[in-house]
A = this chain, B = another copy of it.
Amino acid sequence: MSGAPIYKRVALIGLGLIASSMYWAMKRHGLAGEVTGFARSQETRATAREIGLCDRVCDSALDAVEGADLVVLCVPVGAMGGVASEIAPALKPGATVSDVGSVKKAVIEAVGPHLPEGVHFVPAHPLAGTEHSGPTSGFAELFENRWSLIVPVEGSDRAAVERVEQLWQGMGALTDEMDAEHHDLVLAVTSHAPHLIAYTMVGVADDLRRVTDSEVIKYSAAGFRDFTRIAASDPTMWRDVFLTNREATLEILGRFTEELFALQRAIRTGDGDHLFDYFTRTRAIRRGIIEAGQDTDAPDFGRVKKG
């Protein structure tokens, strides 16, 4: 799979699930020459050195980005602006700065103003992840057959945009381009609202006085456990997502509540036809997702082993 590297020098700022997966994927596919890394936490840097994550782990973000052709900000959305202002003086003219944040309008507003002229800004968002976080959670296959959305800003250099797309494609991802506003709405539907709803349902179950936690856990295979996976995602990351994609998330949650109330009323009034029709319609989306190769048709996500 190796050809000429797409970037000679890549710097990863933040060394969690996404950055560590990018490192392993770039190395496997020969996409980058030297990859430097920096994490704010000394513990994370020590772990990274131990497991061989990055060719060189630096003790400052400035050191990490020095001479880099591509700098990828892999920190929680709320920390992007601070990091951008920190690294700005060390950015090489002609370098590209990208990020992997789950929200794009807020990141563009926070990062853009800090970048010096002659540095290209190409925001991106790989729609991939697991419920695990931290430097040891990454793996080279994370992005395979997953979408990575490229969100060019006004005046983004086409050559720089296309190089970032090639990098993601090289790591196995499919790529699409869209503007920041649409991105944030699409993600509010496909990711942010579902996560908040899952967090809420898990919190309710945990809270309920007449049903013990141990009952919730024992009997979770009846449906509940599907919610717990995404409600186990990184709390810092998700706090920042909701605070920075506030409007789109609240809009979708408003629509959700409206529908939920309509279904609750159907239950209360015994309107079985309304329920049946609704539940029939939602089956079609699942089929679409499976046909698009974005999930498995194996029962129970393939958790069940038939023998």
- Which segment, of A3-11, A59-67, A209-217, faces chain B? A209-217
- Which segment, of A30-38, A48-56, A80-88, A291-299, faces chain B? A291-299
* Distance (whole angstroms) from the CB of A307 to the closest CB of chain B: 6
Q: Copies of this chain, how many? A: 2
Interface centre among A191, A203, A204, by most chain B C-beta atoms within 10 angstroms, is: A204
| Contact A141:B276 (CB < 8 A) given known A191-B222, A208-B189, A256-B204 | no
B228 touches A295 (CB 8 A): yes
Specify which of B140, B147, B221 is in contact with A218 (CB 8 Å cutoff).
Answer: B147
A194 CA to B141 CA, complexed, in Å: 30
* Distance (whole angstroms) from the CB of A190 to the closest CB of chain B: 4
Interface centre among A194, A242, A299, by most chain B C-beta atoms within 10 angstroms, is: A194
| Contact A292:B218 (CB < 8 A) given known A226-B226, A231-B282 | yes
A224 touches B279 (CB 8 A): no
A149 CA to B146 CA, complexed, in Å: 39
A46 within 8 A of B: no
Q: Which residues of B contact A200 (CB under 8 A)?
A: 256, 259-260, 263
B286 touches A267 (CB 8 A): no
Residue of B nearest to A295 (CB): B225
B249 touches A267 (CB 8 A): yes
Q: Interface size on A (CB < 8 Å)?
A: 113
A304 CA to B131 CA, complexed, in Å: 12
| Contact A190:B139 (CB < 8 A) given known A185-B210, A235-B280 | no
A255 CA to B205 CA, complexed, in Å: 9
List A228-283 residues whose CB lies under 8 Å from chain B. 228-233, 235-236, 238-240, 242-243, 246, 249-250, 252-253, 255-257, 259-260, 263-264, 267-268, 270, 272, 275-276, 278-283
Extra pairs beyond A131-B286, A239-B276, A302-B303 (5, CB < 8 Å) = A130-B299, A142-B304, A197-B260, A232-B283, A246-B270
The 27 listed contacts between A and B (C-beta, < 8 Å) are A130-B299, A130-B304, A137-B299, A141-B305, A186-B211, A186-B215, A189-B216, A190-B224, A197-B197, A199-B278, A199-B282, A203-B259, A204-B252, A206-B281, A213-B288, A220-B294, A223-B230, A229-B286, A229-B295, A231-B286, A232-B282, A232-B283, A232-B287, A236-B276, A257-B257, A257-B260, A301-B301
Chain A residues near B (Cβ < 8 Å)? 78, 102, 127-132, 137, 139-142, 146-147, 149, 176, 185-187, 189-208, 210-211, 213-233, 235-236, 238-240, 242-243, 246, 249-250, 252-253, 255-257, 259-260, 263-264, 267-268, 270, 272, 275-276, 278-289, 292, 294-296, 299-307
